[in-house]
Structure 1
Amino acid sequence: MKNIGIEKESLSSLAVRTIIDLIENDVFKIGEKLDAEQKLADKLNISRPILREALQKLELEGYIVRKHGVGTFVISKTPMLTTGIEKLDSMTDLVKAQNYTVGTIGITEPEVTHDEEIRGLLRLNDEEILLSFERIRTADKKPFALDRIYIPEKYVSTDFITNYANSSILSYLSSAQNIQIFSSHCSLFAENASAADAEKLGIIQHEALQVLEQTFYSNANDPIFHGKSLIVNNIMKFHIVRRR
């Protein structure tokens, strides 16, 4: 039987690690345009095809962006968070799974909202009160998502803001309310950042955001809460596996 072994690291992977080191050490600065491909390949002592392969990986990971006819630009010192969307995990768990420290800033006090569309999604009667609040999620202290949470008052404990609003809502419902979230009806689309949202996320106005909007259901198929997350494009992206 032929031996099965681990192949040596490819030249493109070595080039990726080298360029990341140069970015992390500010040799290649954020916002800086990189040299033309042949000149950069010569500097790194690799072939142009190897460099192109490395640049493709770096763009997928969110370190650079390549603009046709303009050039290649450094946009981040940290890799983009990537995750499958088919499994229902909290945003907190998704980020932690990729070895980032998750944080929450900018939590607002819950306030009464009369959004009839969301009240309808949550099947609330006229007497039930719907609350909403905002929070900004961070990965290694860098904002990556602005959450807008809509949750009926009956599910919000008196210590919710002080003890739970900065972490996973799914975990809160499970531990404090004994409600297990079983599924979500989810929409994923793009939206341009308003001036206010851009300021909160540290991006420019009108920058495209990924929007993940979900209504969460219990194992009895009762709608429990609704969330809308505005996600920065160069920090997190989702992938979906589709099969026939």
Structure 2
Amino acid sequence: MSDIPKIDNEELSSKARKVMIAMLRDGAFDAKGRLPSEEVLAQKLGISRTVVRDVLAALESEGFITRRRGIGTIVNKHVLQIVSRLDLEKEFFEELADAGYMPSIAYVKPGRMRADQHAAKRLMINEGDELIVIERLMLADQRPAILCFDHIPKELVIDPTYQDKDLEPPVFQFLEQFCQRSVEMDLTKIEPCLADKNLAAIFQIPEGSPILHLDEVGYDLRQQPILLSKEYYAPGILEFTVLRRKV
């Protein structure tokens, strides 16, 4: 008999989270505006209360629900209606698809460069250190939408047998497979800028048009910076919202 792969709690939690968000957005709990107990949810979803508890904790941290002792778990409908949020990390394909577009990739261009002062400071490496760079242009309904430059310190690569084609999938896959690292959190600087000649040509907009620029550093579990991403968003395609909560 062939081996039956086990589904770990993390994978199960991810699937349960997607089901829960779909139910919340479809109005499954609109009648009361609150979720049933953990025990009832576990029975309905066919999972353990431990997994339910993990999913509810994630949904609360993301602002989709609010839990209060003596009141219960409240559904935050206004948050669920938001399509694009800057405070939640999504793959580009998912971000564009959720906004109602047909996403596709125009091109992926792997390359190399030496770290300039900015990259060296953000990645906490020496100026002049070698970087792997991936330039990626995403389309929304065939319109140029997102231009991203990912920078990975070459010294992080453990398996040097990679090929340029290995840099074509999402960069997180490359980090996990060839660097044995994973991004656990991001810190992002939001910087509006004006399209220069190159950006204007790529996005097919007038030179000097305002565009959104994100300068983002991804950190691993040991709090080491392992990824610098410079993202540019064409105007008029994605409308971002940030959820801010009282601390």
Q: Normalising by the residue count of structure 2, what TM-score does the alignment of the two structures yield?
A: 0.58
Structure 2 matches for 1:84-163, cutoff 5 A? 84-98=85-99, 100-125=101-126, 128-155=129-156, 158-163=161-166
Call closer, same or farther: CA 1:133–1:170 in 2, change over 3 Å.
closer
Which residue in 2 is equivalent to 1:55? Answer: none
**Letter of the aligned partner of 1:221 in structure 2?**
Q
Point out the structure with max Rg over C-alpha: 1
Give % identity: 17
The DSSP-based 3-state class of the residue aligned with 1:227 is strand
Which residue in 1 is equivalent to 2:239? Answer: 237
Provide, for residues 193-241 of structure 1, a one-character-per-residue CA deviation record: whole Å limited to 9, x for no partner: 0111111111111111011110110111110010111101201121111
**Letter of the aligned partner of 1:187 in structure 2?**
K
Provide, for residues 99-131 of structure 1, a one-character-per-residue CA deviation record: whole Å limited to 9, x for no partner: 544322243341222312211221224784223
Between the aligned partners of 2:148 and 2:117, the Cα distance in structure 1 is 19
Q: Normalising by the residue count of structure 1, what TM-score does the alignment of the two structures yield?
A: 0.59
**Letter of the aligned partner of 2:164 in structure 1?**
I
Q: Verify the 8 A CA contact 1:90 1:170 in the aligned structure 2.
A: no
Call closer, same or farther: CA 1:183–1:164 in 2, change over 3 Å.
same
The DSSP-based 3-state class of the residue aligned with 2:239 is strand
Between the aligned partners of 1:179 and 1:236, the Cα distance in structure 2 is 30
Which residue in 1 is equivalent to 2:13? Answer: none
Between the aligned partners of 1:170 and 1:197, the Cα distance in structure 2 is 25
**Letter of the aligned partner of 1:238 in structure 2?**
F
The DSSP-based 3-state class of the residue aligned with 1:174 is helix
Between the aligned partners of 2:219 and 2:184, the Cα distance in structure 1 is 6
Q: Structure 1 unaligned runs (5+)?
A: 5-80
Between the aligned partners of 2:146 and 2:163, the Cα distance in structure 1 is 20
Q: Verify the 8 A CA contact 1:113 1:132 in the aligned structure 2.
A: no
Between the aligned partners of 2:207 and 2:127, the Cα distance in structure 1 is 37
Query: Is residue 2:226 matched to residue 1:224?
Result: yes
Which residue in 1 is equivalent to 2:176? Answer: 174
Q: Verify the 8 A CA contact 1:122 1:223 in the aligned structure 2.
A: yes
**Letter of the aligned partner of 1:103 in structure 2?**
S
Provide, for residues 128-174 of structure 1, a one-character-per-residue CA deviation record: whole Å limited to 9, x for no partner: 42233422111232210111222112346554531332x32123323
Which residue in 2 is equivalent to 1:214? Answer: 216
Q: Verify the 8 A CA contact 1:217 1:224 in the aligned structure 2.
A: yes
Q: Structure 2 unaligned runs (5+)?
A: 1-30, 32-81
Q: Verify the 8 A CA contact 1:213 1:228 in the aligned structure 2.
A: yes
Between the aligned partners of 1:176 and 1:152, the Cα distance in structure 2 is 12
Provide, for residues 162-194 of structure 1, a one-character-per-residue CA deviation record: whole Å limited to 9, x for no partner: 1332x3212332344332211111011211101
Which residue in 2 is equivalent to 1:184? Answer: 186
